[in-house]
Chains A and B, each alone.
Chain A
Amino acid sequence: MRVYLKNLRKGWKGGIITPFFVSLIVPLMAGIWPSMKGDLVAAYSDLLQSPIYQALLGQLGLLDMTTWQGVFYMYVGICMEWAIIFIAILIPARIVAGEVDKNTLDVTLSYPIPRWRYLLEKFGVHVTYNILYGVFIYIFAVVSTNSLGENLDMTVLIHALTGFWLWLFALGALSLLCGTLFLESNRALSASGALIVTQYIMTRLGDLGELSFLKDYTVFNYLSTGTILANGGMPMGELAVVVGVGLVALVIALYVFQKRELAF
């Protein structure tokens, strides 16, 4: 656990600051919600009937925008989807590739630690800090909802935040796999970007209706906030799909890193 604990301590600034700033969307929404209520929300709801917006927002576009819960999930959902895309592309792919770029692996791997374990512990740090997105959003949601005197189903919220975290895990594992395959930041980031953005585009195209089959092959189609809200909790089948994708990608990434030649 040495690699995990040391990197957890050394990475606390980035690990805490980023989730904190992303979570500020909640108090921001709470700040403008009182002035949005009424006519503005009604006009906004009409706008969201457009097929383009429906495609862009997916199931989030079907939420009742006249309620705090509807607005909360739509904005938090969109914000987190985009945050997850950027985080999953940029961070896990560079866990190995970044070290290769800086040439720090040479010394580290001369010590008696299996490569797979080293990678697993470093990925574990990333996964651990990702929990903070949920923690900060939950805290801000409780405080904001109470101060507004509105209602928000906190059980569903916990499930939705767990869904975000599992997306970060599964997409992060795919990105990590790209890092171990390409071993160099530019190529690893390009590959993980292509893999994750393509999935997102496929999900949005699938929301248009005619190409709905495309969604079945993307992580974003499972455990989405809209599905969790509609389901009133965690759809266990979808949870298994996301966790399964993440675990398979992680195991392959660990295997590749353990076995591959470090010719750089």
Chain B
Amino acid sequence: MGSSETVLEVSNLTKVYGRDLEIAGRRLGRRVVGAKDVSFSVRRGEIFGFLGPNGAGKTTTMRSILDYLHIQEGTVTVFGMDHHRDALEIRRRIGYVPGDLSLYENFTGNELIDYYGGFRPIDTEYLRELRSVFRVDLTMKVKALSSGNRQQVGLILALASKPDFLILDEPTSGLDPLMAASAHRLLKELKAEGKTVFLSSHDLAEVQAVCDRIGIIKEGEMILVEEVENLVSKFLQNVRVSFTSEVPDIEALEAINSVISAEVEDEDTLLLKVKEDINELLRFLTNYELDRLSVQDATLEEIFLQYYQ
């Protein structure tokens, strides 16, 4: 892949907060690893989902990309520019919705659009479309808006300039399903126009619906980067097998490398979770007389839980 196709390149990013400090037996400081050796890239025109539970390092990674945090090791480039040295130039081309979104309470939505529009020019045509999609009253002061409506204002602000690269930390948090669906549609439209989206979310159905690839971070380390399509078809499958006579031992099934778990559904039916290659299991099953066999792709949620258990 040529570098011109890569919008975000994160290489060996390491961020450590604080340091261990103990004086006279009292712990005064603690070293916390926020992100460790994180590497991944996001290509132009893709929606990249960033998954992980609270405290896994998602926000640390995002804030490091934005140059809010100073990383100890590694490099981050956005549009081929260094995230620290060229921070201003990069910010001309990005839109950002933070996870814990806070806006100036005494400003109305329109005032915020006008205020921030002075820093990054607004695409007035697109803003008109955003106003019709999001049903928040932009003449109201932020302090009078519900959290869902504030989130809508945050999304309008991030999208209004139609930036080349969007960094969205839980962008649909607090939105009702209708608004969330509208936001997903907008993201897909932007993707179709060649814009790039890097989003974190706890809503795995959302990630599965909009993302092309995902990265899973666990305890500060990136443990998986994969196409969503491959992940749900290849990485984990639910296999239900009914036997006409003899049922194999659970231990024997679990001894197969690709079988993650096996449980009895009823007397002659077993439920298996199989990772990656199913052939070894199929070869094993040829020793038995089968009544029925069904294979289903696992949901992203099941895959995610698999990585975290």
Contact = CB atoms under 8 A, between A and B. Distances in A.
Interface of A: 2, 6, 10, 102-104, 106-114, 261-263
A38 B88 CA distance: 67
Given A107-B97, A113-B88, 5 more contacts: A2-B118, A104-B102, A110-B94, A112-B119, A261-B69
A254 to B, nearest CB: 15
A113 B91 CA distance: 9
Given A112-B92, A263-B17, A263-B69, A107 B102 contact: yes
B80 interface: no
B120 A2 contact: no
Interface of B: 17, 63, 66, 68-70, 88-89, 91-92, 94-98, 100-107, 111, 115-116, 118-120, 154, 157, 167
B100 A103 contact: yes
Given A6-B115, A263-B17, A111 B120 contact: yes
Contact of B103 (A6, A104, A113, A262): A104
Contact of A113 (B95, B105, B119): B119
Nearest 4 A-B pairs (CB), nearest first? A111-B119, A110-B96, A103-B102, A112-B91
Given A261-B68, A263-B17, A263-B69, A114 B100 contact: no
Contacts of A111: 91, 116, 119-120
Contacts of A108: 116
A104 B98 CA distance: 10
18 contacts: A102-B105, A103-B98, A103-B100, A104-B104, A106-B96, A107-B96, A107-B98, A107-B101, A107-B116, A107-B154, A109-B66, A110-B95, A111-B116, A111-B120, A112-B119, A261-B70, A263-B17, A263-B69
A106 B107 contact: no
Nearest to B169: A106
Contacts of A109: 66, 68
A2 B113 CA distance: 13
Q: Which of B17, B95, B119, B167 has most A Cβ within 10 Å?
A: B119
A6 B68 CA distance: 24
Given A103-B102, A110-B91, A111-B120, A2 B69 contact: no
Nearest to A114: B88
A20 B34 CA distance: 49
Most chain B CB neighbours (cut-off 10 Å) among A10, A261, A262: A261
A262 B88 contact: no
B130 to A, nearest CB: 16
Nearest to A111: B119
Nearest to B71: A261
B157 A107 contact: yes
B241 to A, nearest CB: 51
B4 to A, nearest CB: 22
A262 B68 contact: yes
A49 B263 CA distance: 95
Nearest to A110: B96
A52 to B, nearest CB: 43
Contacts of B63: 262
Nearest to A260: B70
Contacts of B97: 107
Contacts of B70: 261
A232 B91 CA distance: 53
A263 B60 CA distance: 9
B197 to A, nearest CB: 15
A10 B112 CA distance: 12
Nearest to B98: A106
